[in-house]
Amino acid sequence: MDLRLSKEHLLIRDMVREFAQKEIVPVAEHYDRTGEFPLPIVQKMGELGLMGIEVPEAYGGAGLDTIAYVLAMEEIARADVATSTIMSVNNSLYCHGILTFGTEEQKREWVTPVASGREIGAYALTEPMSGSDAGTMRTRAELSPDGRHYIINGRKSWITSGPVAHRLILFAKTDPTAEPKHRGISAFLIDTSRPGFVRGKVEPKLGIRASATCELFFEDYLCPVENLLGKPGEGFKIAMAVLDAGRIGIAAQALGVAEAAYEASLHYARERHAFGQPIGAFQMIQQKIADMKCRIEASRLLTYQAALAKMAAKETGARYTTEAAMAKLFASETAMFVTHQAVQIHGGMGYSKELPIERYFRDAKITEIYEGTSEIQRLVIARNELGLR
Ligand code: CAA
């Protein structure tokens, strides 16, 4: 595995770093405190091509590769995890899903406005009674008697960008009698301005507070048959394949917040004095620094490896499920470990809202939960290793 970054990749990383440090860092605390959606920032990110990084220019994107995507995610998350969540769903769950499974017409109509950042995309899989066990969803899509529409009824929960999304990929049961049950699920492209689409309560959250999350209701929503994504019954596989890509983005996000917490800790360990010397001179702090650094670098290797596997899959069609799950699992647990240690190194200041350390700690937690919990990543890795799936 060759992990040397090309000149082009370094330029992209530096450009995104400069933007994030200048435009996002100064306002991150405001958006976290108020829970407002950072629309002006998202618009600027759209202008920079960050809302559709891997989307070909013909469909409004930047036409870059997965390494560029991972580098950009890392830099945005280093500045603010919530903003990187909005970016991640737009890029890897929404745009990637349609680019991979959509028709030419669907790509033009549904990807272009979202990849260019003019509109926001979302991905609606989870339901109140169906989280990790995604195949048990109850949302129903029935073909209308004239065969022109699917009539959709049901409820989705925990939908990232749900309160603001213009468009989404929705998963619903078209055949509730199918066995195994996941073969009765199909995917749909949803225009949220159509009647029958209702946004529910916005979730108050521990972290990523500027990333809006809510319930969605479908009440006799008429989805034109041409907005079916893939074939009927293919929805579960589409959902899983899209999550493989999404999990690489979450790994990069986790890496970014871990780096932010680590850099702040290094600085503090050098500057803060106790017992007549910088606290970094104490071995108990040094042990934390060494463990944080090792886990961050190991996360980076797994994340870039997964990005390379996804790029190779474009040619070979091979799945990169295990690589993505390993990257997400290790990087998210690293983010939690590193931000926890960062709070401890900062002591009272780590617990105070005067510094961003407590925000990093609150924000990092979600990376162990969404797009598949750490338990689900372990299950995916082990099943694949044992050949059980
Ligand atoms: N790619 C393509 N196909 C896949 C696949 C993948 N990665 N993983 C599974 N499949 C296929 C299998 O080959 C199988 O196909 P067949 O019908 O031919 O047999 C089918 O899908 C069913 O697979 P399983 O039997 O393994 O399915 P399962 O019911 O046991 O579930 C699971 C497996 C891994 C637990 C899965 O349900 C899962 O990943 N759950 C977690 C869901 C999740 O991540 N939710 C996050 C919500 S989205 C979110 O958080 C977004 C946000 O807003 C930020």
CA distance 209 to 36: 8
* Strands 121-124, 167-173: pairing kind: parallel
**Which structure tokens are listed for 204?**
């108050």
209 CA distance to ligand 1 middle (Å): 27
Best mutation site among 240, 320, 323, 389 for ligand 1 pocket (most ligand atoms within 8 Å of CB): 240
Element holding 77 (H helix, E strand): helix 66-79
Q: What is the mean pLDDT of residues 204-233?
A: 98
Radius of gyration (C-alpha) of the chain in whole angstroms: 21
Cβ–Cβ < 8 Å for 141, 125: no
Q: How confident is the model at residue 1 (pLDDT cuts 50, 70, 90)?
A: low
Contact (Cβ atoms closer than 8 angstroms) between residue 140 and residue 154:
yes
Catalytic residue ranges: 371
Per-residue pLDDT band for 3 (boundaries 50, 70, 90) equals confident
Summary mean pLDDT of the chain: 97
Nearest residue to 116 (alpha-carbon basis) of 205, 12, 46, 33: 46
For residue 98, the CA-to-ligand 1 centroid distance in Å is 18
The answer to whether the CB of 124 is under 6 A from ligand 1 is no
CA-CA-CA-CA torsion sign (256, 358, 336, 362): negative
Distances (CA, A) of 99 to 50, 86, 140, 364: 16, 18, 25, 29
What is residue 17's predicted lDDT score, i.e. its pLDDT? Answer: 98
Q: How confident is the model at residue 2 (pLDDT cuts 50, 70, 90)?
A: low
Average pLDDT of 12-31? Answer: 98
Ligand 1: distance of its center to the CA of 316 in Å? 21
- Ligand 1 pocket residue status of 183, Cβ below 6 Å: yes
CA–CA distance, 81 with 220 (Å, rounded to integer):
36
The pLDDT score that the predictor gives to residue 389 is 66
**Rounded to whole angstroms, how far apart are CA atoms 342 and 246?**
27
pLDDT score for 4? 83
Give Cα separations from 207 to 52, 80, 91, 367 (angstroms).
25, 11, 21, 10
The pair of structure tokens assigned to 175 is 């055949």
Probe target for ligand 1 pocket from 182, 186, 373, with the most ligand atoms within 8 Å of CB: 182
Q: Per residue in 96-119, pLDDT tens?
A: 999 999 999 999 999 999 999 999
- Helix (H) / strand (E) containing 149: strand 149-160
Residue type, 213: T
Over residues 150-198, the pLDDT tens digits come to 999 999 999 999 999 999 999 999 999 999 999 999 999 999 999 999 9
- Closest to 367 (Cα-Cα) out of 377, 358, 357: 377
AA letter at 105: E
157 sits in which H/E element = strand 149-160
Provide the token pair at 301: 């290797």
Q: How many whole angstroms from 143 Cα to the centroid of ligand 1?
A: 25
pLDDT of 97 reads 97
Amino acid 43: pLDDT: 96
In 177-323, where do the E strands start and end?
A: 185-191, 197-202, 213-224, 228-229, 273-274, 277-278
The dihedrals phi and psi of 130, each to the nearest 5 degrees, come to -145, 95
In angstroms, the CA 74 to CA 122 distance is 20
Q: Answer whether 69's CB lies under 8 Å from 245's CB.
A: no
Supply 356's token pair. Answer: 């961003």
Q: What is the spatial distance between Cα 96 and Cα 123, in angstroms, rounded to a whole number? A: 11
Region at 41 (left for phi over 0; alpha for psi -120 to 50; beta for the rest)? alpha
For 289-332, write each residue's pLDDT tens digit: 999 999 999 999 999 999 999 999 999 999 999 999 999 999 99
pLDDT (tens digit per residue) in 244-273: 999 999 999 999 999 999 999 999 999 999
C-beta of 371 in contact with ligand 1 (< 6 A): yes
What would the pLDDT profile of 124-142 be if each residue is shown by its tens digit?
A: 999 999 999 999 999 999 9
The amino acid that residue 39 corresponds to is: L
Nearest ligand 1 atom to alpha carbon 372: 44
**Residue type (1 letter), 202:** V
